[in-house]
Amino acid sequence: MYRYDEFDREFVDARVAQFSDQVRRRLSGELTEDQFKPLRLMNGLYLQLHAYMLRVAIPYGTLNSRQMRKLAEIARKYDRGYGHFTTRQNVQFNWPRLDETPAILNELAEVEMHAIQTSGNCIRNVTADHFAGAAADEIADPRVYAEILRQWSSLHPEFSFLPRKFKIAITGAPHDRAAVQVHDIGLQLVRNEAGETGFTVFVGGGLGRTPMIGRKVRDFLPEADLLAYSEAILRVYNLYGRRDNKYKARIKILVHETGIEELKADIEREFEAIRHGILTLPKEEVDRIEAYFAAPEFAAPGDEALFDAALETVPGFANFAARNLNAHRQAGYVSVTISLKPIGGAPGDATAEQMEVVADLAARYGHDEIRVSHEQNLVLPHVRKADVPAIYKVLAENGLAEANAGLVTDIIACPGMDYCALATARSIPVAQRISERFGASERQQQIGDLKIKISGCINACGHHHVGHIGILGVEKKGKEYYQITLGGSADESSSIGEIIGPGFSYEEVVDAVENLVDTYVNIRDGEGETFLETYRRVGETPFKEALYGTQ
């Protein structure tokens, strides 16, 4: 993985000093809260319902055991013993004190971590496929480019006060595990006929109040032009994006209102003026950064008889192996998903002890690498298949062995009213109740692939628009209501879910979801047809009838 050189260290240290000074000036009153707010947000510090929240960057979701142990230490020392992994591959601490944040940042800097641009109207943490460098279907490693973009976007003098936040995601495989089409810029690594690496570029995707799928602006952008083209997009957005209404300020609205052809022409004009200039990526530099992400020295495959035996003898292991392993490019290796969705738990939460357990496992069995997925789980990307039973045993002892990756209980949920100042409804308790309803392992397996995503307000941090079943909590006359959407998806065949009908109360919503799932199971074309496939085949009618009767 990427390692800081002297320059990177100086950069992060100086940033900590700068932020510490900003905190000092806020506490002394030199900065008003209005003036301080964008500054603290640019360093991931939110003021939430009960306390400050610090969002720490985990660039493209990659970290090592030392960094994970540091997160555990911070959770214990400055928080209430846990952290929350987010849909943008970051981690949040919910209870830090303002005056302690400089100390936290200093501790993070010790392990080459920071909170730069995890919030605010700037370019956010660049996300990537959580199986990067491991997946069997990968064309090129997206982390190389995510790291280059991370660097280029850090404290960018021109783009630190954009109309609104700006999110970039990169996938290195044809199967999109990074939801690139619902990002402000989505990059899909491709190779052209000459075998050169480049990107298919999407612009203007996003969720929130006005969900939109990104529009393709380039089939093939050469690797060398990545920064120049990104700068051109950002410049057009910074100059012309709306600033009169924060709900219409994302680039997706600019795309929508300007029209994609005109906007594309603006971007290309800006790009022509700066391409072949100082932003051109030299091949040697890309290669040098790529070397940081070189595959570890894989060991010889172990005794896979151990694995096969565990399938027969260890309770729950067969289910775990069926759901939580992903094909690896190296023979004898797999990637292991560690679910942070225990039945009845808060999605994405991990205790300090659990973080340490994962760190130990990564150090012992996983070439010291850990990933955070945008589905709020953890991943050990490089593990020998033969070691999986031993890993499973440790996970099971620590409440981390739920065999539900991609299943109905692998729910994405925003923090909702339990923490968030913006939320209008609870989301975590809804996730917990759904999880309990479908908790029986056999039932989940039988239902198969199904993504439920829950947001506690219209800002859609829980990505409900792209859930196969999406749930949006809203407030109506002092009561929580939950609107259900069906048919959303965030992969290479992205789609925005459609509202199925009137919402349900907090009490009713779990029954409604169960009703939908039962309906699917009854009408699917065999067990091989997933919920999404069934929905796309039959449309909303049977589901509507199941929920609201025939009218």
Q: Which two tokens stand for residue 370?
A: 């850990």
Q: What is the DSSP letter of 328?
A: B
Q: How far is residue 145 from each of residues 216, 234, 314, measured CA to CA in Å?
A: 19, 17, 41
* Minimum distance of another protein from residue 431's CB (angstroms): 34
If you search the block for the tokens 């589901």, which residue do you land on?
Answer: 543
- Using CB under 8 A as the binding criterion, the count of chain residues that bind another protein stands at 41
Regarding beta strands 452-455 and 412-413, do their DSSP bridges make them parallel or antiparallel, or are they unpaired?
Answer: parallel
Residue whose CB is less far from another protein, 10 or 262:
10
Q: Residue 441 interacts with another protein (CB under 8 A)?
A: no
Q: Residue 243 interacts with another protein (CB under 8 A)?
A: yes
Q: Residue 4 interacts with another protein (CB under 8 A)?
A: no
Question: Interface residues for another protein in 107-126 (CB under 8 A)?
Answer: 121
Binding window for another protein (CB under 8 A); candidates: 31-39, 53-61, 342-350, 503-511: 31-39
* Minimum distance of another protein from residue 274's CB (angstroms): 8
Binding window for another protein (CB under 8 A); candidates: 282-290, 324-332, 335-343, 434-442: 282-290
Residue whose CB is less far from another protein, 41 or 403:
41
Residue whose CB is less far from another protein, 149 or 517:
149
Q: Residue 7 interacts with another protein (CB under 8 A)?
A: yes
Q: Residue 157 interacts with another protein (CB under 8 A)?
A: yes
- Which of 225, 229, 224, 241 has its CA nearest to residue 270? 229
* Minimum distance of another protein from residue 215's CB (angstroms): 22
- The alpha-carbon radius of gyration of the chain (Å, integer) is 23
In DSSP terms, 200 is beta-bridged to 188
Binding window for another protein (CB under 8 A); candidates: 81-89, 198-206, 272-280, 428-436: 272-280
Q: Which two tokens stand for residue 359?
A: 């760190």
Contact 378, 356 (CB under 8 A): no
Residue whose CB is less far from another protein, 116 or 405:
116
Q: Residue 31 interacts with another protein (CB under 8 A)?
A: yes
- Exposed e or buried b for every residue in 395-429, given b needs 16+ CB within 10 A? bbebbbbbbbbbbbbbbbbbbbbbbbebbbbbbbb
Residue from 1, 15, 484, 512 touching another protein (CB under 8 A): that is: 15
Distance CA 454, CA 416 (A): 9
Q: Which two tokens stand for residue 478?
A: 């002092």
Q: CA 248: distance to chain centroid?
A: 23
Q: CA 69: distance to chain centroid?
A: 21
* Minimum distance of another protein from residue 180's CB (angstroms): 23
Q: Residue 22 interacts with another protein (CB under 8 A)?
A: yes
Q: What is the DSSP letter of 243?
A: -
Question: Interface residues for another protein in 205-234 (CB under 8 A)?
Answer: 227
Q: Residue 273 interacts with another protein (CB under 8 A)?
A: yes
Q: Residue 257 interacts with another protein (CB under 8 A)?
A: no
Q: Residue 155 interacts with another protein (CB under 8 A)?
A: yes
Residue from 33, 158, 219, 304 touching another protein (CB under 8 A): that is: 158
Distance CA 31, CA 434 (A): 45
Question: Interface residues for another protein in 453-472 (CB under 8 A)?
Answer: none
Residue whose CB is less far from another protein, 103 or 274:
274
Q: Residue 101 interacts with another protein (CB under 8 A)?
A: no
Q: Residue 165 interacts with another protein (CB under 8 A)?
A: no
Distance CA 8, CA 154 (A): 11
Residue from 69, 130, 235, 426 touching another protein (CB under 8 A): that is: 235
Residue whose CB is less far from another protein, 150 or 323:
150
Contact 123, 168 (CB under 8 A): yes
Containing 72, the helix (H) or strand (E) segment is helix 65-78
Binding window for another protein (CB under 8 A); candidates: 65-73, 146-154, 166-174, 206-214: 146-154
* Minimum distance of another protein from residue 117's CB (angstroms): 11
Distance between first and last Cα of the chain: 58
Residue whose CB is less far from another protein, 153 or 530:
153
* Minimum distance of another protein from residue 270's CB (angstroms): 9
Q: How far is residue 337 from each of residues 383, 391, 452, measured CA to CA in Å?
A: 11, 11, 18
Q: Which two tokens stand for residue 232?
A: 């051109």
Residue whose CB is less far from another protein, 26 or 463:
26
In DSSP terms, 201 is beta-bridged to 187, 218
Binding window for another protein (CB under 8 A); candidates: 277-285, 402-410, 443-451, 459-467: 277-285
Residue from 110, 262, 285, 511 touching another protein (CB under 8 A): that is: 285
Phi and psi at 313, nearest 5°, equal: -105, -30
Residue from 2, 11, 46, 333 touching another protein (CB under 8 A): that is: 11
Residue from 23, 39, 140, 146 touching another protein (CB under 8 A): that is: 39
Distance CA 408, CA 420 (A): 25
Distance CA 381, CA 145 (A): 19
* Minimum distance of another protein from residue 292's CB (angstroms): 12
Contact 225, 282 (CB under 8 A): no
Distance CA 278, CA 297 (A): 36
Residues in the site for another protein, rule: CB under 8 A? 5, 7, 10-11, 14-15, 18, 21-22, 25, 30-31, 35, 38-39, 121, 148, 151-162, 227, 235, 238-239, 243, 273, 278-279, 282, 284-285, 288
